[in-house]
Structure 1
Amino acid sequence: MALVGMVVWVASCAALAAALGLAAAEDLARRVIPNGCVVAVAASGLAAALSRAAGGEAAALAAAPAGALATLSVMFAAALVSWRVRGAPGVGGGDIKLLAAAGVWLGPVWGLACVALSCAAALALWATVLLARRVAAGGARRGRGAVACVPLAPGIAAATLGIVLLGLPWQA
């Protein structure tokens, strides 16, 4: 990879980490994923794919939209099924968009793996938070009210960054 390609790759990775970190923080604080974070993840993924294609990996350009479409399709279908069964979407629109943007980085196979890993990581994080709250409250149980929505962006951030940093989508 040429020097320019390496600089683009590093800048893309930095933008990915910053956008995912901000998305996770906003989702935890306000249950909102800013559209700017989604755009930054997708744009940095496209820049990374272009730098890889310039370095001889032509398949990277085809994998980017295929990954976005695969993750978008699965998450949108999950939201529709949940809407049909429960009367409410099981996943928010920001989560769907953020996972589709992550799919630009990961391609279709690792994008779908990221969906599963994101959900598992988010549920584990949320279970830990709920357990900590119960311990802090002295073990007292609260009423069995509605299940709070689980912030998915921290799980998306952890799974996406883990997959990218391990280089899994680019191993032969």
Structure 2
Amino acid sequence: MHEVLPLFPLHTVLVPGAALGMRVFEPRYLDLVRECGRTGGGFGVCLIAEGEEAGAPAVPEACGTEARIEDFDTGPDGLLQLRLRGHRRFRVHRTRVRDNGLVEAEVDWCAPDPVAELQPQHALLGEVLRRILEQFEADLAIPERRFDEAAWVGWRLAELLPLTLEQRQRLLEQDDPDQRLDAMLDLIL
């Protein structure tokens, strides 16, 4: 049986462990935030396949990431500002649009990434990540560093490298951490 998850389609790709800030102003998304506050649950962030972030409900890509609210505030413009963190990946089985315009999906959760050591052929990627983090340490809220773990290195690079949305989405869809790192090597070499 599929789990039902409300979606927030965006022109961005959220990967597991990544932080994302966003402003919320549409009533359907304010309802979503209230619902998450009541239930303690998260919601899905998916790249928009067709449509726009505001207005008519957008068509989401078939793979996304569960977002959890870490913090919230009101911005100088009076709008709700959220700080989110990516958690589990999911695949969309089917979507429907609620009466308020909010898209919800029946999803299957992807298996968690295995805890596997960074392979020698991916050592360069670990070093690239280490250097990025040294340069931007003060600006990045990355709680735990695991440079020897393939999945962690891959997700952090997918979050931080200047990739196109389509490239980042293809990495999100990849289930195997080593294949994800192979794809990343192809992108940067």
Same fold (TM over 0.5): no
TM class, shorter-chain normalised?
A: under 0.3
Q: Higher strand proportion, which one?
A: 2
TM-score, with normalisation over the residues of structure 1? 0.27
TM-score, with normalisation over the residues of structure 2? 0.25
